[in-house]
Amino acid sequence: EAGVAQSPRYKIIEKRQSVAFWCNPISGHATLYWYQQILGQGPKLLIQFQNNGVVDDSQLPKDRFSAERLKGVDSTLKIQPAKLEDSAVYLCASSITSGGSTYEQYFGPGTRLTVT
Amino acid sequence: QQPVQSPQAVILREGEDAVINCSSSKALYSVHWYRQKHGEAPVFLMILLKGGEQKGHEKISASFNEKKQQSSLYLTASQLSYSGTYFCGTEWDSGGGADGLTFGKGTHLIIQP
């Protein structure tokens, strides 16, 4: 079974520029998560989708970050404009969803963003 | 609130045992354990649900003490491949599962030959 796919793997931009990341979850996984992992820390949840609806975006800096999951499959995360503190690895994860029970989350390889 | 992991780092010889703890100040619905190697994605190890269960996975097992709101990950007879950073991810007990996880800061485990 194919895993979670993400692209690009690396991105270097200057502050105030915009950037977009793409994620393709495991086939059949209704729930998709975007996490931000700053060097030396654990992943931090930014947004959670179930199918194409947002379940939780309480930690998403909405003045600069946006995300969408059209058709309930692929998702994109955008930052506009980027700040130096946005330098991090952006991880996408997916899981199956059934009756509100919790299941393991499968992570993609991540996109390493460097803002200069 | 972020769960607290301890210790922050541990260095072992191959074959030795280790225990990593994850504590929460809020009631938990579940605890997820992941291992992450440098430059790679976190890899799922196991989930424990409230109810105080214990699970095993080869030589890696874990427990969840609901009274203490604490989970412990046990690595026995450690192998070189166990090296990495271990994270616990927690779901709050807010009525159900399928939530995003709040991760601890991680425990760095180094296994030496």
CA distances from B102 to A33, A83, B47 (A): 12, 24, 14
Is B84's Cβ below 8 Å from some Cβ in A?
no
Determine whether the interchain pair A101/B97 forms a contact, defined as Cβ–Cβ distance below 8 Å: yes
The reported pLDDT for the residue numbered B52 is 62
The pairing of beta strand B102-103 with beta strand B84-92: antiparallel
| B12, B79 contact by CB (below 8 A) | no
- Tens of pLDDT along A14-23? 999 999 999 9
- Per-residue pLDDT tens for B48-100? 988 767 667 678 999 998 889 999 999 999 999 999 999 999 988 775 555 77
**Closest CA–CA distance from residue B16 to any residue of chain A (Å):** 25
Phi, psi of B37 (to 5 degrees): -95, 155
CB contact (8 A) between residue B100 and residue A107: no
Give the torsion through C-alpha atoms of A54, A105, A107, B33, to 10 deg: 130
pLDDT in the model for residue A15: 97
Residue B29 is predicted with a pLDDT of 87
Four-point Cα dihedral A83, A84, A85, A91, nearest 10: 80
